[in-house]
Amino acid sequence: MQKKNPYVYYFIDKYNTEELTNLDKNINLIYRNYKNLNKDVIESINKFSKINKRNFYLSNNIKLALKLGLKGVYIPSFNKNINFASKYVLPNNFEIIGSAHNISEIRVKKLQGCSKIFLSPIFKTSKYKNFLSIIKFNLITLTQNLDFIALGGINTNNYKKLKLTKTAGFASISWIKKNGLMKIRPFLKI
């Protein structure tokens, strides 16, 4: 992993101020709730993020992200629409990030204009039988001129293995939620 502080992303599906307050300010938020997209909840999280000087991204809805003035949009791997952002005029500081599982999906994310790609799963998870591992992750990322974010199966036991990869940071759901601020803070300084 690079020597600078890594980018850290945390996926949320609801607004819980107590949970978000306990997170380090260096942790970026991605709201990912496909079942119930509530504009009021998104506005509340955005207000909280601006007050706490934290980056906030909305999953798969560029129109609403632009309308609310969010930091950017997150494009999940299942969204293969190459013209996802082409009909919008994007502000200079607006960021498109996305996720991929293989090289063909990485090509799609490049065409969608993603500046960072979440490559997953890097480690074994209960959700996926197959995972990349350090070697496959490196083989994929070394040939690409992009920032890659490690995602999937990251925990206290395998976090240090990320130093062996060409990753600009990591993303998590359960590990960050479980450990909050105190146990994550030492991992933010590599």
The parent domain of residue 180 ranges over 7-188
What is the pTM for the complete model shown?
0.87
pLDDT value, residue 65: 95
For the stretch 98-124, what's the b/e string if a residue is b when 16 or more beta carbons lie within 10 angstroms of its beta carbon?
Answer: bbbbeeebbebbbebbbebbbbbbbbe
Q: pLDDT tens digits, residue range 9-42?
A: 999 999 998 888 888 788 899 999 888 888 999 9
If one counts the domains in the chain, the total is: 1
Q: What is the CA radius of gyration of the chain?
A: 16
Give me 68's structure tokens: 């609310």
> pLDDT tens-digit profile of 161-179?
888 888 898 988 777 776 6
Band of pLDDT at residue 188, cut at 50, 70 and 90: low
CA distance 133 to 122: 5
**Residue 1 lies inside a defined structural domain of this protein:** no
Asked if residue 51 belongs to a domain, the reply is yes
Q: List the CATH number of the domain containing 151.
A: 3.20.20.70
